[in-house]
Amino acid sequence: MLRRLTLCLGLASILGACDPVVPIAPIEDSEFEGFTVYSVIPDNPVGIVYLFHGSGGSANFALKIETLDQSNELVRRGYGWVATESTERDGNRRWNVNNPSIASNQDLARLARLHAHIVDSGAVTDATPIFGIGMSNGARMVTLFGQVFADNGYPIVAVAPVMGRAAPSVQLAGGLQIPGYWVNAVNDTVVPPAGVAQDQQASAALGVTSVLARKGEENLLPIRFTRIPAVDVEEAELIYDQLAASGVWDANGKRVVDLGTAVSIVAGLTPPPGTGATVTQIRNQISALLALHQFTALYALPLADFFDAQRLAAEP
């Protein structure tokens, strides 16, 4: 039990592990123009944050453990958030990141109408600061959304592209011209980290406030899995024991096989009996600790600090 408590306290300082990640405020489930919308909007929010899923995703991106952990921190600070989904609901289910027109890009146009709808509802005003967080294809979209909306007079303050590059039109313009908190991962093979760093550096070269957080690989610890709502400390130990027995990690939780072998072995594992975790929940946590192409809440505090700082700097 002492070992478990020590691990809990150590990882809790980084990831808030030990306590399950659940919404700290009721999430509204609605539709706008036939598309799912999830949102948490307090009275008089200090800002409104739009969330953008990656390829193959949906508004459910907002309900994932790592995303919730990030948005919970923002809600604690008085922000609201909104998540919807790309117009393309067949095929790759991606945002249109190639058309920078707020009029003819269906995604951008609908986001403008959605924002107007939220303003009309009285939840926010035309002056409420706007932010964005996007993962992968959503990272490209959040840069396009941020730049195009800023160019059209919206009060865009900052965006956070995670594990993804800038939209093509943003790159062609020389870089993102609004503050950005960029995140890449050292073992990401879907969007290699060098490309993300290149886009962040292009923005910084313009004199724009820009930060790059470089996600490294973490050791395997049992307490990480208590982030999953249906998993308690004992069940987390069962998951850990199964993973430790796979031969991917040593007794200290350090990976001892090549990354490709690790991914292959983990892909073949199923949750051990007696745990309430799903395969997807476990694999997402493993992908995050391996620094693969996976959204992470490791930077929940510094990202929220960044948004706070840019918001305060933008105040008249």
Q: Note the pLDDT tens digit of each residue in 122-142.
A: 989 999 999 999 999 999 999
**pLDDT (0 to 100) of residue 178:** 98
Global pTM? Answer: 0.94
pLDDT score, position 1 = 31
So what's the pLDDT on residue 19?
Answer: 82
Q: What is the pLDDT of residue 3?
A: 36
Q: What is the pLDDT of residue 123?
A: 85
Alpha-carbon distance of 83 to 68, in angstroms, equals 11
Task: Tell me the two tokens of residue 15.
Answer: 């990831």
CA 29: distance to chain centroid?
19
What is the C-alpha separation between 70 and 66, in angstroms, rounded? 6
pLDDT at residue 276 in the model:
87
| Three-state DSSP class for residue 284 | helix
Q: How far is CA 80 from the centre of its chain?
A: 15
Q: Which residues of the chain have pLDDT under 50?
A: 1-14, 16
Angle at CA 291, nearest 5°, toward 286 and 294? 70
Gap between the Cα atoms of 118 and 156, Å rounded: 16
pLDDT in tens, 208-233: 999 999 999 999 999 899 999 999 98
Query: What number of other Cβ atoms are within 10 A of residue 251's Cβ?
Result: 7
Positive or negative, the CA dihedral 87, 89, 90, 91 is positive
